[in-house]
Amino acid sequence: MSIVVSNLQKSFAGTRVLDDVSFDVKSGELVGVLGPSGGGKSTILRIIAGLDTADGGEVWLDGKRVDNLHARDREVGFVFQHYALFRHMTVSDNVGFGLDVRDEPRDKRDARVAHLLDLMGLAGLGDRYPSQLSGGQRQRVALARALAPEPKLLLLDEPFGAVDAKVREELRRWLRKLHDEVHTTSIFVTHDQDEAFSVSDRVIVMQKGRIEQIGTPVQILDHPSTEFVTRFVGDVNVLEGTVKNGHAEVGPLTGPLIDAIPDGPARIVVRSYDLKFWREDPGSATVKRMVPLGDRVRVDALTDQGSPLFAYFPRRSSLLDGIETGCRIHVEITLARAWPA
Amino acid sequence: MRSSSRRVPDRYAAGPLVAVLGYVACLILVPLAALVYVVAAHLSEVVTALLSGPALHAMGLTLAVAALCVVCNGVFGVAGALVLVRQRFLLRRLVDALVELPLALSPVMTGLGFLLLFGRTGPLGPLLDAIGLRVAFAVPGVVVATLFVTLPFTLREVALVLEEIGDSEEQAAATLGASPWQTFWRVTLPNIKNGLVAGTVLTLARALGEFGAVLVVGGAIGNRTETATTFIHAAVESRAEPAAYGMALLLGAAAIAALGALQWTEKKR
């Protein structure tokens, strides 16, 4: 199902949550809506599903305007942030609900439920109640329930927000795999950039009810179009500096700019992986702390001008040779972005 | 050190525990025991008195009115709670406060209000006369008075549960294609079952025990509008003690049974 959303406006009690939001999603696409909490992301999904009404703007599903269509007639599957499973029904009855309300023949219904439970890795749990399941299992029941009536569009509101990190990682990979098999057009909302980038075909970055950028994960990572996106996406160092002849200058440090801006004072934004450190005396900075993080090491340093910097390096990498807490280093900025101060 | 510091709270707790138990015993158990004792001592007279025509009529009327209240205020309570909790409308807060009014109003005052409204000289008098319906000093008056005093219970209990569970399951049902009726029967009703049971028990207990309003509106006419409570009142007035004590014990037993049923269903959850 293709989706066109145009000029959506929405306010709650005088606070604007959506400000002129427009985008479209092609049939079969998996799109992530990424942004800080409270940025209006969930409201978009709720309006597309018909659970909320917009103050202005239009929603078109498959070329048909649906603003006056009730939620139950939109054929949109919705996975709620806190699952909203029917607590008094078994897992099977939860999953079968969307089929039961349209009087699907019993044998077809049972077959579909069994198939979905199998697909979701929930086989054997059909007779349990939601309260007897783990967070990850509940999440998959919610997904199975939403998929059962074969919706043409699947909307997921912070789908993995309430499960722990390990399970989240697993569910992400699994959602992508599911999408590649089922091809249901899907939009999901998240405040977690890893989640958005690892699962989506395209990402919509939002802030304060406005769309900041729409693009593929690579486009957004490599060519952020606003300062907000630059700072929100990836771990960044933000430094006060100047731009001169297409180069960023921060004290004695200089680095090439990916997108040139006019000369003058600027905020220089450097990704944590666009920095190189090596041991050098006298050098230009001091290593303050080294934090091992599994496969990576985070190195915190302080420049002689007093700016804190951090960078990640692969553990046991030659880039880390000789670097230790308290040593003097030289810093090289390999790539920077700048925004006029 | 450890064991002595652990014993301190126990010693503290003993005082309040004795006080609470003593209070409960004095106010609830002792009168109940006295009633049981008196009835047991005069059992044959009590049974004879309770099998008399007026006594049986009073019991029948009380049970019928209570059943009617449970059904009417059960349906109204569920519908009213859904409207008050799930919908936003003008004056919602006012209506919300209004439905609790019967809890605060003196039943005698309520009864008087109904009497003024439905009496011969009241604003509804001519209309009722025209269709040949008597409300004041008749069974319909007893019904209306009891409906009024029992109105808030189911509504309140169901509204509390509705607030607590939120509306996300209902929204999920809608996105899955359920109609409002399907959502109500399959999702909402099973979720509010406990509130409904609690409200029903409270409604029943209150309907069985209501006195002031049914006395004023119904007039406690023997064999016609006399209910169990007004029967007791009349029996005490005419010094027919066995009848009074017997009926009182029956009412007490019914109330205890209702509360027991409530505890049992709560424990089962």
ipTM of the complex: 0.83
Task: Indicate if the pLDDT at residue B9 is higher than 60.
Answer: no
- How would residue A84 be classed by pLDDT, with cut points 50, 70 and 90? very high
Residue A338's contacts (CB-CB under 8 Å, 6 or more residues apart) are: A241, A243, A248, A257, A261, A266, A267, A268, A269
How far apart CA B134 and CA A9 sit, in angstroms, is 59
Q: In the prediction, which pLDDT does A79 show?
A: 94
Residues from chain A that touch B177, judged by Cβ atoms under 8 A, are: 72-73, 75, 98, 101-102, 149
Residue A254's contacts (CB-CB under 8 Å, 6 or more residues apart) are: A247, A248, A333
CA distance A261 to chain B (A): 48
Contact A101 B176 (CB under 8 A): yes
DSSP code, position B99? T
- Estimate the crossing angle of helix A106-119 against helix A91-100, to 10 degrees: 130
DSSP code, position A319? G
What is the layout of strands, in order, in the sheet containing A15-25?
Answer: A15-25, A3-12, A56-61, A64-65
Give residue-wise pLDDT tens across range A241-268. 899 888 888 888 888 988 878 888 999 9
Give residue-wise pLDDT tens across range A205-215. 999 999 999 99
Nearest by CB to B168, which of A71, A82, A97?
A82
- How would residue B7 be classed by pLDDT, with cut points 50, 70 and 90? low
Contact A78 B175 (CB under 8 A): yes
Instruction: Report angle CA B47, B51, B55 to the nearest 5 degrees.
Output: 110
Four-CA torsion B9, B13, B15, B18, nearest 10 degrees? -160
CA distance A297 to chain B (A): 43
Q: A83 or B129: which carries more pLDDT confidence?
A: A83
Question: What domains appear along chain B, each with residue ranges and CATH number?
Answer: 1-41 (no CATH), 44-268 (1.10.3720.10)
- Contact between A189 and A156 under an 8 Å Cβ cutoff? The reply is yes
How far apart CA B182 and CA A100 sit, in angstroms, is 10
**Mean pLDDT for the stretch of residues A203-224:** 92
Q: How many A/B residue pairs have CB atoms within 8 Å?
A: 69
Q: List residues in chain B touching A: CB distance below 8 A.
A: 165, 168-169, 171-179, 182, 186-187, 190-191
Give residue-wise pLDDT tens across range B37-87. 988 888 888 888 888 888 899 999 999 999 999 999 999 999 999 999 988
Q: In the prediction, which pLDDT does B255 show?
A: 87
Helix and strand counts by DSSP (H, E) for chain B: 15, 0
CA distances for A186 relative to A6, A50, A64, A68, angstroms:
18, 16, 18, 22
Q: In the prediction, which pLDDT does B136 show?
A: 81
SS3 at position B2: helix
Among A12, A27, A26, A31, smallest CA distance to A211 is for: A31
- Estimate the crossing angle of helix B189-209 against helix B53-86, to 10 degrees: 140
DSSP code, position A320? G
Nearest by CB to B175, which of A77, A85, A102?
A77
How far apart CA B190 and CA A97 sit, in angstroms, is 14
Residues from chain B that touch A49, judged by Cβ atoms under 8 A, are: 175
CA distance A42 to chain B (A): 14
Task: Indicate if the pLDDT at residue B8 is higher than 60.
Answer: no
Q: B236 or B4: which carries more pLDDT confidence?
A: B236
Query: What percent of chain A clears pLDDT 70, i.e. is strictly above it?
Result: 100
Task: Indicate if the pLDDT at residue B1 is higher than 50.
Answer: no
**Mean pLDDT for the stretch of residues B98-105:** 88
DSSP code, position A243? E
Q: In the prediction, which pLDDT does B2 show?
A: 46
**Mean pLDDT for the stretch of residues A44-52:** 94
Beta bridge pairs of residue A283: none
How far apart CA A128 and CA A110 sit, in angstroms, is 16
**Mean pLDDT for the stretch of residues A97-121:** 93
If 0-12 CB within 10 Å is exposed, 13-18 middle and 19+ buried, where does residue B246 land? buried
Q: In the prediction, which pLDDT does B10 show?
A: 59
Give the residue carrying structure tokens 């209902």.
B170
Give residue-wise pLDDT tens across range A296-328. 899 999 988 888 899 988 888 888 888 889 899
Provide the mean pLDDT of chain A: 90
Contact B187 A86 (CB under 8 A): yes
Token pair in block for residue B80: 């009213």
Q: In the prediction, which pLDDT does B4 show?
A: 47
Determine contact: A101 vs chain B, CB below 8 A: yes
How far apart CA A294 and CA A187 sit, in angstroms, is 32
Query: Residue ranges of the alpha helices (H) in chain A?
Result: 41-49, 91-100, 106-119, 135-147, 165-182, 193-199, 217-222, 227-232
DSSP run (H or E) holding A288: strand A285-293
Strands (E) across A174-279 are located at 185-190, 202-207, 210-215, 236-244, 247-250, 253-256, 264-271, 275-279
- Contact between B83 and B158 under an 8 Å Cβ cutoff? The reply is no
Instruction: Report angle CA A24, A151, A216 to the nearest 5 degrees.
Output: 30
DSSP run (H or E) holding B246: helix B241-268
How far apart CA A303 and CA A140 sit, in angstroms, is 48
The DSSP code sequence of B57-80 is: HHHHHHHHHHHHHHHHHHHHHHHH
Instruction: Report angle CA A146, A148, A150 to the nearest 5 degrees.
Output: 90
Q: In the prediction, which pLDDT does B11 show?
A: 60
How far apart CA A205 and CA A233 sit, in angstroms, is 9
How far apart CA A92 and CA A98 sit, in angstroms, is 11
How far apart CA B89 and CA B263 sit, in angstroms, is 36
Residues from chain B that touch A80, judged by Cβ atoms under 8 A, are: 168, 171-172
The DSSP code sequence of B227-241 is: -HHHHHHHHHHTT-H
- Contact between A284 and A331 under an 8 Å Cβ cutoff? The reply is yes
**Mean pLDDT for the stretch of residues B157-171:** 94
Among B183, B179, B176, B180, smallest CA distance to A96 is for: B176
Beta bridge pairs of residue B59: none
CA-atom Rg of chain A in angstroms: 24
Task: Indicate if the pLDDT at residue B29 is higher than 90.
Answer: no
β-pairing, A202-207 with A30-34?
parallel
Q: How many CB atoms lie within 10 A of CB A79?
A: 26
- Prediction pTM value: 0.81
Beta bridge pairs of residue A293: A296
DSSP run (H or E) holding A59: strand A56-61
Task: Indicate if the pLDDT at residue A234 is higher than 50.
Answer: yes
